[in-house]
Amino acid sequence: MVTSSLPIACSKTTSSAFLPVLTGLFTATLLISNVLNCKVIHVGPLPFTGGLILFPLAALFSDVLTEVYGYAESRKLIWTGLGSLILFVIMIEICGMLPADPIWTHQAAYNAILGAVPRFVAASLTA
């Protein structure tokens, strides 16, 4: 009886070591894909946003986490990702509103690229 429960205990301990990694990768894919949505690319004759390349990994991480760790951990992962996205948008907005240093001449580029991210995140959260 001890031998059969030992591998389960070891695999649970080993698999729980991957939980922070999956959470980090899930959150990173959400953040990065929302920034990459600012770029429109062509794949063959079709236009796509750059975030479409990476975003499917977020669904993969979420599905793997649900299968391996269960719905309770999956909900924590999703709330962590959503909280990170909201903090990301708040910081983009705050930094965009703060006056730029006179020697930094890239405020228009900042607004053009990162200014669209809050709309992408709002659409992402709505979907």
pLDDT band for 98, please (50, 70, 90 cuts).
very high
Q: In the chain, what percentage of residues exceed pLDDT 90?
A: 32
- Residue 46: helix, strand or coil by DSSP? strand
Q: State both tokens at 40.
A: 């429109």
- Sequence-ordered list of residues with C-beta below 8 angstroms from that of 121, at least 6 positions apart, any chain: 34, 85, 86, 88, 89
Using the predicted structure, report yes or no on whether residue 44 has a pLDDT greater than 70. yes
Answer whether 85's CB lies under 8 Å from 10's CB.
no
- Residue 53: helix, strand or coil by DSSP? helix
Using the predicted structure, report yes or no on whether residue 8 has a pLDDT greater than 50. no
Residue 10 vs residue 37, higher pLDDT: 37
Please calculate the CA angle 35-109-123 and round it to the nearest 5 degrees.
Answer: 35
pLDDT band for 65, please (50, 70, 90 cuts).
confident
Burial of 100 (0-12, 13-18, 19+ CB in 10 A): middle
Q: Which helix (H) or strand (E) holds 35?
A: helix 19-36
